[in-house]
Amino acid sequence: MSSELISDYEVVHSRAKSFYERYERKPELQHQTHFCPGCGHGTVHKMLARAIDELGIQDKTILIGPVGCSVFTYYYFDVGNVQAAHGRAPAVATAVKRSHPGSIVIGYQGDGDLSAIGAAEILHAANRGEHISVIFVNNGIYSMTGGQAAPTTLIGQKSTTTPGGRNAATEGYPLQVSELLATLQAPVYIERVGLGDNKQIAQANRAVKRAVENQVRGLGFSLIEILAPCPTIWKMSAVDSQHWVRDVMEKTYPLGVFCDRTKEVQPRGLPEAGPSLDQIPHILGVADEDLPEGNSAVVEKAEDIDLHVRVAGFGGQGVLLLGEVLAEAGLDAGLEVSWLPSYGPEMRSGTSNCHVRLSSQPIDSPLVTVPNILIAMNEPSLRKFDLSVRPGGWVIYNGDTFPADCMREDVHVLALPFTQVAHELGDARACNMVMLGTLLEIANSLPQASIDVALRRLIKNPKWVELDERALTRGRELFKESLQEV
């Protein structure tokens, strides 16, 4: 055929603009999806991309991806993407839609994701009538994990967890999500469609577009359930699995519209924007003089500050508070900070530790696996974390003598009876603040004003503030004295 002739033809169906040109998930095969040949997801992806194209909403669409075979929506759709934890797409979609009311939020979920682990999320999102569109792809099985039974597995259908076929007496009945949700008052549109033949595919295409259009019109919650083939796990050819959708699945999951309130509901405009930050005190009735002061002192970021601190001890020693004061002081000084506690369910006597980071740069991870300062408030904590300290770092140990077998050549060690020191100051419980004082003197990167502010923010009792201030000062002195001794 000559090119002259082809030029008389116009392209009417081609790759949707809402798809990326190339899928950069892996270096090779960037031109095709990761789906198996004949997978229903590919077909549904195309319907959704086409709907987004036709409605002209690519720039304001946020797609919430699921866990399952279709987890990689963000590699395919050139729209805003959030990939939610398993089953939580409706909850994430709720948050996204409420915080960005002008966007079009579409949840995309499979049947394992939506009807099993995420059953509560979809039920409540539907019941609240969240203004989102949900595309629910039902193939009756957990495909990505290798074919376990889902709540939607048909009676008698074999899976790796129902090798004799699903039995209603032990595994219950197939969950009819569309019928279930249609009993609620809030949903605006719920329809079940299939991919069983050309006619069904054409109807599915219209339904997907309608679900998105309902949201564009501000109508409310729409869900489209799509019966989709899974040739690989069903162990059928693509064509046979398509027939199976129509001939077998449809008997359990009849197609049709289960709820349509699109004509009755009033379109909802965009909700009012929330109050700005400076309006909040007024709304709460807080007088100007009661507002917290701003930062007392911002550290000049002349040098890079990067503290990785691990504080460990037994519960009740004030391990977490020590870390909190440090982080709060860093915050006041205008640094990036993180404080991550880690403890068991016991309120007292269990082990307890916290990760604290202070940095002049944004913090990548709040975890401190390789600390440059370790505060070990008892011996088990020392033994647990001693080897993790970065060479050149500091170990501050609460004890008269440092256990010989914990000695390391490549770290600085300061072992002092901090509890005894605190006891002499007035209360052994101030031990944590003595140790913090030592740490602050070692790190020497926070202004005293920030520490004072942090202490007053976190400790309400003036008696304790006074004691803790003395404890901090004593801790600083202890470090200086230790230098003179050497």
Partner 1 sequence: MMNVEKRDRGLLRIDVDECKGCGLCVEACPPKVIGMSVRLNHFGYRTAEYAGAGCTGCGICFMACPEPGAITVLRAATRKAGQVPMIDTGMEGATQCASN
Residue whose C-alpha is closest to residue 444's, from 295, 323, 307: 307
Which residue is associated with the tokens 């946020």? 62
**Residue 201 binds partner 1, judged by CB under 8 A:** yes
**Residue 298 binds partner 1, judged by CB under 8 A:** no
Q: Give the amino acid at 201.
A: I
User: In angstroms, rounded to a whole number, what is the distance separating the alpha carbons of residues 156 and 234?
Assistant: 13
User: In angstroms, rounded to a whole number, what is the distance separating the alpha carbons of residues 438 and 421?
Assistant: 12
Task: Report whether 272 contacts 284 (CB < 8 A).
Answer: no
- 213 or 324, CB closer to partner 1? 213
- 204 or 433, CB closer to partner 1? 204
User: In angstroms, rounded to a whole number, what is the distance separating the alpha carbons of residues 237 and 225?
Assistant: 23
**By CB under 8 A, what part of segment 211-240 binds partner 1?**
231, 237-239
For 391-414, b/e burial (b = at least 16 CB within 10 A) is: eebbbbbbbeebeeebeeeebebb
Residue from 16, 71, 312, 446 that binds partner 1 (CB under 8 A)? 16
Listed in order, strand segments (DSSP E) in 195-231 are: 222-227
- 135 or 455, CB closer to partner 1? 135
Residue whose C-alpha is closest to residue 133's, from 157, 111, 105: 105
**Sheet of 306-314: strands edge to edge?**
336-343, 351-359, 306-314, 373-376, 394-398, 412-416
Residue from 61, 73, 115, 242 that binds partner 1 (CB under 8 A)? 242
Residue whose C-alpha is closest to residue 322's, from 313, 331, 332: 313
**Residue 112 binds partner 1, judged by CB under 8 A:** no
- 19 or 397, CB closer to partner 1? 19
**Residue 206 binds partner 1, judged by CB under 8 A:** yes
Stretch touching partner 1 by CB under 8 A, among 9-17, 213-221, 290-298, 428-436: 9-17
Residue from 167, 183, 197, 256 that binds partner 1 (CB under 8 A)? 197
User: Least distance (Å) from partner 1 to the CB of residue 212?
Assistant: 15
User: Least distance (Å) from partner 1 to the CB of residue 112?
Assistant: 19
User: Least distance (Å) from partner 1 to the CB of residue 64?
Assistant: 20
- 37 or 271, CB closer to partner 1? 37
- 46 or 192, CB closer to partner 1? 46
Q: How many CA atoms lie within 13 A of 145 on its CB side?
A: 15
User: In angstroms, rounded to a whole number, what is the distance separating the alpha carbons of residues 40 and 241?
Assistant: 10
Over the window 18 to 37, marking each residue x when it contacts partner 1 by CB under 8 A and - when it does not, the resulting string is: -x---------x-xxx-xxx
User: Least distance (Å) from partner 1 to the CB of residue 367?
Assistant: 39
- 9 or 285, CB closer to partner 1? 9
**Residue 15 binds partner 1, judged by CB under 8 A:** yes
Q: Which two tokens stand for residue 425?
A: 């100051």
DSSP character string of 47-76: HHHHHHHHHT-GGGEEEEE-SSGGGGHHHH
User: In angstroms, rounded to a whole number, what is the distance separating the alpha carbons of residues 181 and 126?
Assistant: 7
User: In angstroms, rounded to a whole number, what is the distance separating the alpha carbons of residues 126 and 137?
Assistant: 17
Residue from 70, 133, 178, 205 that binds partner 1 (CB under 8 A)? 205
Q: Which two tokens stand for residue 158?
A: 């074999």
Q: Are strands 351-359 and 61-65 parallel, antiparallel or unpaired?
A: unpaired
User: In angstroms, rounded to a whole number, what is the distance separating the alpha carbons of residues 473 and 471?
Assistant: 5
- 100 or 199, CB closer to partner 1? 199
Over the window 36 to 75, marking each residue x when it contacts partner 1 by CB under 8 A and - when it does not, the resulting string is: xxxxxxxx-xxx-x----x---------------------
Which residue is associated with the tokens 């682990």? 117
User: Least distance (Å) from partner 1 to the CB of residue 116?
Assistant: 24
Which residue is associated with the tokens 């939610």? 84
**By CB under 8 A, what part of segment 354-393 binds partner 1?**
none
**Residue 13 binds partner 1, judged by CB under 8 A:** yes
Stretch touching partner 1 by CB under 8 A, among 163-171, 199-207, 334-342, 421-429: 199-207
Q: Count residues near partner 1 (CB under 8 A).
A: 46
Residues contributing to the site for partner 1 (CB under 8 A)? 1, 4-6, 8-16, 19, 29, 31-33, 35-43, 45-47, 49, 54, 76, 197-199, 201-203, 205-206, 231, 237-239, 242
